[in-house]
């Protein structure tokens, strides 16, 4: 038997329960993993509340995209991964099919990469999603390059901090937006060239004072604030919308019409499902992880038994970077 986190109804963190279950044997193309650490994502809180782009198909539902651990067994047809290997699980499946909030779980073999050398399980569970999302949205989709001013909203989030580092690596000029002064030091330490505290100076005025206008905007907030972001984007620029933290409808701004802006949605599954784009992103991240350019930004760790507290903290917006749950 192994412990697993499940929820029997949609709702707040309190609907999460730690239960016992009997993991099955891995099927063809699957791997059984002994989980040592789980990287929490905002997406999982949205899924639990029924506000994600997909809904749980059945209850009880399980959840979790990102983890690190040890291979316990491999299914038929799996090659190149052996029992005992230390691995990271990459977000590349539906939580209706697979889930990693458990002591032992089955995942597709294709979702595994080797744990980066020198990384412990917590770092191995925290490093991939942020950099894959940032590289995918900024470099793969928006073609960010040297000298480009790029506005990164929710810059203190796990993806935001990674985006600052990815922007730096390609020679772009990262402008970090955060709502309050509390997180300024953290986003500066990640490499932000400019920091705009939006509650103090406003979005458009802050961006204009920093760089004039953005070539690329990388935004997980969406909602009405997109109008201000579009107003601060240069003609022909791109707004990559990769989340919906505001929870509000997103307008198509007038300035996007006038200035020929591209408003582009992005989920990292877009590149994870394309072998060439996935390989390019993984090569880039692996190389920069190896060089020490892309550290895991871990804010705090919790135990599996404290999953409710971990999710409460996830939704508190107090964190800077990743929340990790360690197992056991």
Ligand X SMILES: NC(=O)c1ccc[n+]([C@@H]2O[C@H](COP(=O)([O-])OP(=O)(O)OC[C@H]3O[C@@H](n4cnc5c(N)ncnc54)[C@H](OP(=O)(O)O)[C@@H]3O)[C@@H](O)[C@H]2O)c1
42 in contact with ligand X (CB under 6 A) = yes
- d(Cα 266, Cα 72) in Å, to the nearest integer? 34
- d(Cα 10, Cα 255) in Å, to the nearest integer? 38
Strand (E) or helix (H) holding 252:
none
317 in contact with ligand X (CB under 6 A) = yes
Q: For 58, phi and psi rounded to 5 degrees?
A: -140, 160
Binds ligand X (CB under 6 A): choice among 31, 107, 173, 268: 268
156 in contact with ligand X (CB under 6 A) = yes
243 in contact with ligand X (CB under 6 A) = yes
Which of residues 94 and 180 has its CB atom nearest to ligand X in the complex? 180
Strand (E) or helix (H) holding 92:
none
Which of residues 74 and 163 has its CB atom nearest to ligand X in the complex? 163
157 in contact with ligand X (CB under 6 A) = yes
- d(Cα 43, Cα 56) in Å, to the nearest integer? 13
The residue length of the chain stands at 328
179 in contact with ligand X (CB under 6 A) = yes
Which of residues 34 and 92 has its CB atom nearest to ligand X in the complex? 92
245 in contact with ligand X (CB under 6 A) = yes
Binds ligand X (CB under 6 A): choice among 78, 141, 159, 210: 159
Residues 281-310 that bind ligand X (CB under 6 A): none
DSSP for 59-128, written as a single string: SSEE---EEEEEEEEE-TT--S--TT-EEEE-S-S-TTT----BSEEEEEGGGEEEPPTT--HHHHHHSH
Question: Which tokens is 208 given?
Answer: 């204009």
CA of 84: how far to CAs of 34, 176, 180, in Å?
A: 9, 41, 45
Nearest to 219 by CA among 270, 165, 256, 176: 176
Which of residues 47 and 119 has its CB atom nearest to ligand X in the complex? 47
Binds ligand X (CB under 6 A): choice among 43, 141, 166, 327: 43
In sequence order, the 6+-apart residues with CB closer than 8 A to the CB of 257 are none
Binds ligand X (CB under 6 A): choice among 34, 37, 41, 66: 41
* Residue 260, preceding peptide bond in cis (omega within 30° of 0): no
Stretch that binds ligand X, among 18-26, 70-78, 206-214, 241-249 (CB under 6 A): 241-249
- d(Cα 218, Cα 267) in Å, to the nearest integer? 12
Cβ at position 220, least distance to ligand X in Å: 3
Residues 201-230 that bind ligand X (CB under 6 A): 220-221
Stretch that binds ligand X, among 28-36, 94-102, 139-147, 312-320 (CB under 6 A): 312-320
272 in contact with ligand X (CB under 6 A) = no
Binds ligand X (CB under 6 A): choice among 3, 48, 165, 183: 183
End-to-end CA distance of the chain: 13
Tell me which residues touch ligand X (CB under 6 A).
41-43, 129, 133, 154, 156-159, 178-180, 183, 220-221, 242-243, 245-246, 266-268, 314, 317, 319
């Amino acid at each position: 038997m192994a412990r697993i986190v499940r929820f029997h109804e949609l709702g707040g963190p309190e609907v999460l329960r730690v239960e016992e279950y009997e993991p099955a044997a891995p099927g063809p193309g699957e791997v059984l993993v002994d989980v040592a650490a789980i990287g929490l994502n905002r997406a999982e809180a949205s899924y639990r509340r029924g506000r994600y782009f997909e809904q749980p198909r059945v209850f009880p539902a399980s959840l979790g995209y990102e983890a690190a651990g040890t291979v316990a067994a491999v299914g038929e047809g799996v090659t190149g991964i052996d029992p005992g290997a230390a691995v990271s699980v990459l977000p590349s499946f539906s939580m209706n099919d697979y889930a990693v909030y458990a002591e032992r779980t089955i995942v597709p073999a294709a979702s595994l990469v080797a744990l980066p050398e020198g990384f412990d399980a917590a770092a191995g569970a925290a490093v991939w999603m942020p950099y894959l999302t940032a590289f995918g949205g900024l470099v793969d989709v928006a073609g960010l390059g040297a000298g480009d001013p790029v506005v990164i909203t929710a810059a203190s989030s796990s993806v935001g901090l990674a985006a600052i580092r990815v922007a730096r690596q390609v020679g772009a000029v990262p402008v970090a937006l955060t709502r309050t002064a509390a997180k300024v030091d953290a986003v500066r330490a990640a490499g932000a060239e400019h920091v705009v505290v939006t509650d103090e100076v406003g979005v458009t005025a802050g961006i204009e004072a920093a760089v004039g206008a953005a070539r690329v905007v990388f935004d997980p907030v969406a909602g009405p604030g997109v109008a201000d972001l579009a107003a601060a984007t240069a003609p022909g620029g791109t707004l990559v919308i990769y989340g919906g933290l505001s929870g509000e409808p997103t307008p198509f701004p007038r300035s996007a019409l006038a200035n020929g802006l591209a408003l582009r949605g992005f989920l990292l599954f877009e590149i994870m499902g394309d072998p060439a784009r996935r390989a390019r992103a993984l090569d880039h991240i692996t190389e920069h992880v190896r060089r020490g350019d892309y550290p895991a930004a871990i804010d705090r760790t919790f135990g599996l038994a404290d999953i409710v507290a971990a999710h409460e903290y996830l939704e508190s917006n107090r964190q800077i970077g990743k929340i990790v749950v360690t197992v056991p």
